[in-house]
Chain A
Amino acid sequence: MFHATLDSTSTWKQIVDALATLLTEVHFIVSKSGIILRQLDSSKAAMVDLVLPAKIFQEYDCDGNYDICLGVDELNKISKRMAGDDRLEFRLDEDDNRFEIKMIGQAQRQFKLQLLTAPDERTKKPSLEFDAKAEMFADAFKQAVKDIGVVSSHLRIAASGKTLTFTGEGDTGEAEVSMKAAGDESVIFHLEVSAKPTAMYALNYLSEIAKAMSTDSLTLQFSENKPMLLEFPIAEIGSISFILAPRVERDRRST
């Protein structure tokens, strides 16, 4: 049995928008403690990691472990029908193999989505340690991604001391955006750096993620030529993270 209610449609929309950037199918794992999702996108170069503790929901009842697998397009279409002040109710109908979403507002509307077959294996998380960690305004990051995107198809990040630098180069030229973590005006609230890591990431993923960002702040972590982690808070105690594998200069197959 799984049943939960959520007062904020904007939280739900934020989640669905974020998932839709990289996935075509979503695989929620629902348990007593809350809902999690961990999936690779179809290129395996990116991972989404969603954590929604039970406390985010106003009511939350779950007596076991369930896999809820849904098509993103279908989920997205339903979410678009939500009105701002609707209250949401979710229920798993095990007999009919359906996921129910109820929108309770001026009218009570109910949608039922057929469950897809869940994959046999659950995705493991890569064990990552980071040399740089920055907490910053989400908009500053979004603008940096757009700036670099003008000339380049990939973005290089470097951190050293109090500075975070984004650079890119393409056939038409180069671009550079740098941010200092100092003073009250800074777009970076907090920056921790050990060593001087630099790494490069594909912009096609980053632009998609940046487009879907709806939080004020984010945490960015990365290491030298290792995956980058972008984390966004959801309703204070929840979070959604994107992990992005780096691009390397020399042929990755020869390493």
Chain B
Amino acid sequence: MLAQTRLEKTPTGGKQMSYDERVCSRCMGHRHLCGISPCPLLMRAKALSSIDSAVTGLDLTGSSPPSVFVGEQGYPKVLAGPLIPPVMGMDSAIMERPDLWLDKTIDEILSFRFNLVRTKKLIPVNAAVDPPRILSETQTLALSETPTSSEATLLKRPSFTSVFSDRTLPTGPSAPLQLFVLEDNPKVPRAVDKATSDTDLKAVGGIMEMFEDGVRQQQMTRLLSVGLLGEQRSRRLVPTKWSITAVDDIVGKALHKRVHRLPWINDYLVYVDHALGNTVALLFLPSGWQFEAMESWLGGLNPPIITDNEWSRGRKDYARSVAGAYYATRLPSLEHLTQMRRQAGVMVFMEIDPQKWVPLGVWRFREIARRALQSHGKKFSSLDEALEEVGRHLRNPIDRWLKVSKLYREFTTQTLITDFME
């Protein structure tokens, strides 16, 4: 039996390491862009991980949360494999549950992830049509709702290489994979079994069926990523990074259709929440569906604000500026409207404090937005009052946001046909 890993506290006090967020956010710990050697982020990652002492040989036994990672480099031949912690038992579930992380510290979150060994094997994406043994075991793991014990044989000892990405959850040390076998039978929810075993059902249909049945988003993303959804002939491995946004967008599009038929809200609603150095504020306007996501990295005198938006019919091209965070905040907005059985225009304001920041993935915006929307929110009868409330929670003055906002301009200048009816 391997030694149990422990979550170790990062030493507090003393001189804090400083990161240049602009460099780090591009480098993500593996391009050596800042010139400081060794990379401070990687050092922090290593300090939080006890993999070195826990994994001594090339055999790795542990309960995967379950978790799977599919890389995007080299597409259509990608590095894919399960993420396995060197521990057994149900405790590993939290390592793949970002929806439970908002109240954790950044170091706690990182230590969840850095205690997972990312195994990898080069697999062509279309192998999902007729999966070889190792992929088939990985797929079976992905079906499970709860941690499943497994055994892996590695080709090399795990090492820290790339740990961060702007979109996916942080990943721990990685190692090439030789063999992977499950020791337990996976616990597969019925909806998951139905959607994945139907080889005539398109991926979009499968995801929507699972969504209706309350399957967790993390699991749908995992299933899409390992190539278990879609018509048999067109099943593919999908890089984790793409599948996250794909699921946000697919569910969002379906809800968008429903929201379109609902009556407008009557007042202005404001929802705000903060976590992990990020602030998300959502302003719901009494109008037809339209959406805008704005994001600002704090720092400097006038930090730039980037924006993407869509009008009532949704967008067809990719939201290039705000990227993953656009889709990750659009989904909770649509979910909330569907629950309220109302239609509204939604403006999302996101601020990131780089001093508290490490790249955690876009899930944080999705989960902060969801938590904000679960709160009661505040109701206002005028736009000015609502904006004042939003401004209270942001560090950039509200006028700077409104200056770049497309939706604000549209909302305040576009008249309605009903304005001209007696």
Contact = CB atoms under 8 A, between A and B. Distances in A.
A78 interface: no
Nearest to B345: A43
Interface of B: 257, 260-261, 287-290, 311-312, 343, 382-383, 410, 412-422
A24 B418 contact: no
B287 A24 contact: no
B419 A245 contact: yes
* Chain A to chain B: the 8 pairs with minimum beta-carbon distance, closest first: A43-B288, A42-B288, A126-B420, A245-B415, A44-B416, A247-B413, A43-B312, A251-B412
Given A202-B414, A243-B417, 16 more contacts: A42-B288, A42-B289, A44-B288, A44-B416, A44-B417, A44-B418, A45-B414, A47-B417, A128-B420, A245-B417, A245-B420, A246-B415, A247-B413, A248-B415, A252-B419, A253-B382
Given A25-B261, A127-B422, A204-B311, A46 B417 contact: yes
Interface string A228-255: 0000000000000001011111111100
A139 interface: no
A227 B418 CA distance: 11
Interface of A: 24-25, 40-47, 124, 126-128, 202, 204, 226-227, 243, 245-253
A202 B290 CA distance: 14
B257 A24 contact: yes
B413 A251 contact: yes
Between A25, A45, A247, A250, the greatest number of chain B beta carbons within 10 A of the residue's beta carbon is seen for A45
Nearest to B419: A245
B312 A41 contact: yes
A40 B418 contact: yes
A40 B312 contact: no
B45 to A, nearest CB: 42
B268 to A, nearest CB: 11
A47 B417 CA distance: 7
A140 B416 CA distance: 27
Nearest to B415: A245
B414 A253 contact: no
Given A25-B261, A252-B413, A252-B414, A126 B421 contact: yes
Nearest to A250: B413
A42 B312 contact: yes
